[in-house]
Amino acid sequence: MSRSPTLRAWLAEGPFTLVLSSGFFSFFAHTGMLEELLGAGATPAAVAGSSAGALVGGAWAAGLAPGAFGAILNGLAREDFWDPRPGLGLLAGAKFDALLRAMLPVTTFGACRIPVAISVFDILRARTAALTTGDLPLAIRASCCVPAMFHPVWIDRRPYWDGGIRDRPGLAGVPLGTRVLYHHISSRSPWRRERDLAIPVRENMVTLVIEDVPRSGPFKLDAGRAALVHARAATRRALDAPRVDGLVRI
């Protein structure tokens, strides 16, 4: 087992890309983590993510501060995104789209302050695609499009589902060799294969795992608000924790 300097010291060594994993309603935990990270002066040079990670990373790249996003999440009600309609999924996604366009300061990848890569699942090709140009809210919504929960999202005449289907970590759009801080959301899903739940290993990547995060969902939004506070406090401790084999577990 190899020990290295603290996470804070590693972050200060040079530019890094922040990668945020998929995880059902884990945008609360990602937001708390990112708020503390930025408060410590560690600003990513680029972001990437899948599903909930795409939502948080894309919103921050578009200019929405984590504190402001946290305030939106704290006031979120299920009715704000709940729009059942007949189709290939319970929810149409129109309310989610309107919510994104109302809160994002900019709505195109090109207008973001840093590069963004968003993982989505191309249904027709049955493989992951990394979106880096075009309509940002549409890409975020596609990445969050959980099968059976949302109707597929169409972009340029192609249907897409949740990026976490084949790229749970959200790393598809990040070149190998890039310095990466990866925030991994653990999953207890019985439907996923063990290899899909494993923490990925890459050169130049440090992984942050926060334990005991309260589990949220559309009917457990209060748990999400608790997860945001928990992740913020845990990240504060993690910054001065040593890296063990490229991993900070707190």
Q: What is the mean pLDDT of residues 138-156?
A: 97
The predicted pLDDT at position 198 comes to: 84
The predicted pLDDT at position 52 comes to: 97
Buried b (16+ CB within 10 A) or exposed e, 84-123: eeeeebbbbbeebbebbeeebeeeebeebeeebbbbbbbb
The answer to whether residues 124 and 159 touch, using CB atoms and an 8 Å cutoff, is yes
pTM for this model (two decimals): 0.93
The predicted pLDDT at position 186 comes to: 80
The fraction of the chain above a pLDDT of 70, given in percent, is: 94
Q: What is the mean pLDDT of residues 150-178?
A: 97
Cα separation values, 135 from 55, 98, 104, 110, 152, Å: 13, 13, 12, 9, 16
Q: What is the pLDDT of residues 79-118, one digit of tens each?
A: 999 999 999 999 999 999 999 999 999 999 999 999 999 9
The residue type found at 88 is L
CA dist 175 and 193 (Å) reads: 25
The predicted pLDDT at position 208 comes to: 97
Q: What is the pLDDT of residues 184-235, one digit of tens each?
A: 998 655 444 545 568 999 999 999 999 999 999 999 999 999 999 999 999 9
What six digits make up the tokens of 102?
Answer: 């109302």
The partner residues of 205 in beta bridges, in order of sequence, read: 180
CA dist 59 and 57 (Å) reads: 6
Q: What is the pLDDT of residues 33-88, one digit of tens each?
A: 999 999 999 999 999 999 999 999 999 999 999 999 999 999 999 999 999 999 99
Query: Looking at residue 35, what DSSP letter applies?
Result: H
The predicted pLDDT at position 195 comes to: 53
